[in-house]
Amino acid sequence: MSAPVLEVAGLHQRFGATEVLRDLNLQVRAGERLAVIGPNGAGKSTLFNAISGLVRPSAGHIRLRGQAITSWSVHKRHQLGLARSFQISQLFGQLTVRDHLRCAASWPDGQGYRFWRMLDHQRTLNARVDAWLERLGLAERAADIAAELSYAEQRTLDIGMALTSEAEVLLLDEPTAGMSRSETARFVPLLRELTEGKTLLMVEHDMGVVFELADRIAVLVQGELLACDTPQAIRANPSVQRAYLGQSQGSDA
């Protein structure tokens, strides 16, 4: 079994008197796809915010590739290979699809100042962006501004930015939220293909998507980890049935 790439240990998150996450322990192995599910208000987004650096945990540790990153900035975490896509797309409406991916492709590099190095750098960058435009199925939309894309294309671009930045660990916050059933059906195989070999942690409400994509599923209820296991074991777990799956299957699955 490979060592965890991402590790959450004894994580607590309080907002004033409210304890939103309680003694959370979670490990994600290299190349694994782990889905976090749970009822509304369970603490899923808060967990993502803590891992990506948007909130500082009240207690506990977060480790990325063995390094304690608990107090690191979002930017520094990104440099170590952690990228996040958001539930609501964080795109710039007037920037083109290509410009979005060019920005994302530039994130990990410190640009050299010598002229020939910059030229070489630009050529490599453009080739990388072209390749990602093809893989994302957005090549024909490259010159269009983000505001003109369909909702599903915007989500693809949002996730494409995380991928183009060459992060190894991706946090995807409800990647299919707001998509129609047919858009979701087209998107899930694409997502699977694009993230092959990456380590994936995702929050997702659509149980069809979760059971299709996830290698393991973590169930969060009222800020505590109820179970973390294979999809088959989670489906058969009576406490999970009671706490979550039973109540959501009618609407989500």
Query: 172 and 179 in contact (C-beta within 8 Å)?
Result: no
For position 251 contacting ligand ATP by CB under 6 A, the verdict is: no
For position 20 contacting ligand ATP by CB under 6 A, the verdict is: yes
For position 45 contacting ligand ATP by CB under 6 A, the verdict is: yes
For position 176 contacting ligand ATP by CB under 6 A, the verdict is: no
For position 44 contacting ligand ATP by CB under 6 A, the verdict is: yes
Query: CB under 6 A: which stretch of 44-52, 78-86, 138-146, 239-247 binds ligand ATP?
Result: 44-52
**Complex with ligand ATP: residue 52 or 165, whichever CB lies closer:** 52
Q: Least separation, in Å, of the C-beta of 195 and ligand ATP?
A: 21
For position 151 contacting ligand ATP by CB under 6 A, the verdict is: no
Answer for which of 3, 15, 111, 127 binds ligand ATP (CB under 6 A) is 15
Answer for which of 41, 93, 112, 246 binds ligand ATP (CB under 6 A) is 41
Residues that bind ligand ATP (CB under 6 A): 15, 18, 20, 38, 40-46
